[in-house]
A and B are shown apart, each in its own frame.
Chain A
Amino acid sequence: MPEGAFPATRYSVLSRMRDEDPGVRREALSAIVEAYWKPAYKHIRLKWKASPDEARDLTQTFFASLLERELLSRYDPGKAAFRTYLRTCIDGVVANERKSASRVKRGGESQIVSLDFQQAESEVALTAAEPVEEVFYREWQRQMFSLAVEDLRRHCEQTGRQVRFLLFERYDLAAGEGPSYEALAAEFRIPVTAVTNHMAWARRELRRCLWARLAVITSGEPELSAEASRLMGRP
């Protein structure tokens, strides 16, 4: 299979969550949590106007209920994208939890994964200007790109290609206008053609990392293709 082609559907989130091996199921849940915990937290904070503590508890409750209430097994790919389904589930869980006085606190030992809510909370102020209905979608885009950038960084470190990541970081991750290829070539003491090639490689790898991340949280090729478009900001 070429690098950028879509992976096979048998690795989709649905089949992995239904796998008999608990390890596979936990790994699948972990992928879902990684991709969606920040969008979920910020969505709860802003749409449901929850306090930081309440949003943290509700986020943990939501991911726990994905397993406990078998919400994932009820997902029908024919009806909606997995992302849309999850958002509906979050709203359902929050509404139910708020009605129920017997909500179990999940802040301490009962949390299913360790999440850096402090960092997420520090980002909430930066997202507050967005329409609340868009928060979940926008934050999902941001989180997917953040995860892919981290994957790329790790890949570069493991394969001794740190210079490529540094170039990518200086040029594509720069706030505002980044330096020119010529300036980077002078700074790193390499030819401009090498900068061009390294940048092309880094972007190609970033795309591969993104698609790999997306493949494990979608239900198959049609949804993967549709979600890839949404990830790129297309309607």
Chain B
Amino acid sequence: MSYLPDDVVRRLQSVVELPDLTGTRYELLGEIGRGGMGAVYLVRDRELERNAALKVAGSLDSEARLMAALEHPGIVPVYDAGVLPDGRAFYVMRFVEGRRLDEYCRETPNLAERLRVFQKVCDAVSFAHSRGVIHRDLTPRNIMAGPFGEVFVLDWGVARSGQARESPGLVVGTPDYMPPEQAAGDSHQSTVASDVYALGAVLASVLGPAAPKPLGAIVRQACQSNPADRYAEVQALNREITRYLELEPVLAYRESWRERLGRFAGKNRTLLLLLGAYLAVKVLLYFFRPN
């Protein structure tokens, strides 16, 4: 038995996991990414002459069916599903081109633009909740912002629908975005509030270190340790962002009279400018009126 050098072992590790697509309409172009729940490959659909993303899972999993049931502009559509010759399941979905949310935020200085993208994420997650599906792994890495304003929530590999059962003690998710109840292994108790927590953490990353105080308060409320103290639903969180963008008072934040005045001034800037101009004209007329 000959010695396998490290580079050969690494190559074998990679090739034994490559999906064998012989007999399918897909041609393997390369690997896009890899997570705990399987690898995603870039493939060429020879029949439709377009690129797509193909995900391989260890066994026939429910992710494809779950995603296929969630028809929403913010959730990647599933095109096809099947079983590879080696018994592993695969499904094919739209290949999303764009930037991950963390990259998008780094390259987008305008806070309002970033918040509007975040609101689209809230819409997609809220839609999933309305269908009884909890994502459970919302992070900036699982959100893609496309070049034409499209926003997609990806990686529904650990999502759970209302009927699913799983063993207690199972920890799923990403540590920095995981609510305490999920980190403690109570994943079977994941609820809407768990995703609200993760969205709060995502919002914190969207805001960066210099977050305006009302937005910071929204993050704090979404990320409360006790699920009952968080926003009851994603759209409640979303409405808070809308209030902030429209210079309305944010419910999670008690503002001082100065801040209230500042917000009033910001909201009524045109009116105040007109009023200022009118007063200035009056003053000028007073001093330069003919004797």
**Chain A positions near chain B (C-beta within 8 angstroms):** 1-5, 119, 123, 126, 141-142, 145-147, 149-150, 172-176, 196-197, 200-201, 203-204, 206-208, 210, 225, 231-234
Supply 11 A–B pairs (Cβ within 8 Å), ascending by A: A5-B59, A142-B6, A146-B4, A172-B8, A172-B12, A173-B8, A204-B85, A207-B16, A207-B17, A233-B13, A234-B34
Residue of A204, A210, A233 with highest tally of chain B CB at under 10 A: A204
Contact indicator A204/B8 (Cβ below 8 Å): no
Name B28's closest neighbour in chain A (CB-CB).
A200
Tell me how many residues of B have a C-beta within 8 Å of chain A. Answer: 30
In angstroms, Cα B136 to Cα A70, docked, is 43
Contact indicator A232/B85 (Cβ below 8 Å): no
Residue B83 lies at the interface, judged by CB distance under 8 Å to chain A: yes
Name B18's closest neighbour in chain A (CB-CB).
A203
Name B35's closest neighbour in chain A (CB-CB).
A234
Name A147's closest neighbour in chain B (CB-CB).
B1
Name B22's closest neighbour in chain A (CB-CB).
A200
Residues of A within 8 A of B99 (CB): none
Residue B48 lies at the interface, judged by CB distance under 8 Å to chain A: no
Residues of B within 8 A of A149 (CB): 1, 4, 12
Residue B86 lies at the interface, judged by CB distance under 8 Å to chain A: yes
Residues of B within 8 A of A197 (CB): 22
| B6-29 contact mask (Cβ, 8 Å, vs A): 1 or 0 | 111111110111101110000000
Contact partner, B15, options A2, A175, A203, A208, Cβ 8 Å: A203
CB distance from A210 to the nearest CB of B (A): 6
Name A209's closest neighbour in chain B (CB-CB).
B16
Contact partner, A5, options B10, B16, B34, B87, Cβ 8 Å: B87
CB distance from A223 to the nearest CB of B (A): 14
In angstroms, Cα B58 to Cα A4, docked, is 9
**Chain B positions near chain A (C-beta within 8 angstroms):** 1-13, 15-18, 20-22, 34, 36, 58-59, 83-88
Residues of A within 8 A of B15 (CB): 172, 203, 206
Contact partner, B20, options A126, A145, A176, A204, Cβ 8 Å: A204
Residues of A within 8 A of B13 (CB): 141, 145, 231-233
CB distance from B121 to the nearest CB of A (A): 27
CB distance from B43 to the nearest CB of A (A): 14
Residues of B within 8 A of A126 (CB): 3, 5
CB distance from A129 to the nearest CB of B (A): 10
Contact indicator A2/B22 (Cβ below 8 Å): no
Residues of B within 8 A of A147 (CB): 1
Contact indicator B86/A207 (Cβ below 8 Å): yes
In angstroms, Cα B58 to Cα A225, docked, is 9
Contact indicator B1/A206 (Cβ below 8 Å): no
In angstroms, Cα B58 to Cα A213, docked, is 17
Given contacts A203-B18, A206-B16, 13 further A-B contacts (CB under 8 A): A2-B87, A4-B84, A4-B88, A5-B87, A119-B1, A123-B3, A175-B7, A203-B15, A207-B16, A225-B58, A231-B13, A232-B16, A233-B13
Residues of A within 8 A of B12 (CB): 145, 149, 172, 206
A173 with B86: in contact, given A5-B59, A225-B58 (CB under 8 Å)? no
CB distance from A199 to the nearest CB of B (A): 8
Name A150's closest neighbour in chain B (CB-CB).
B1
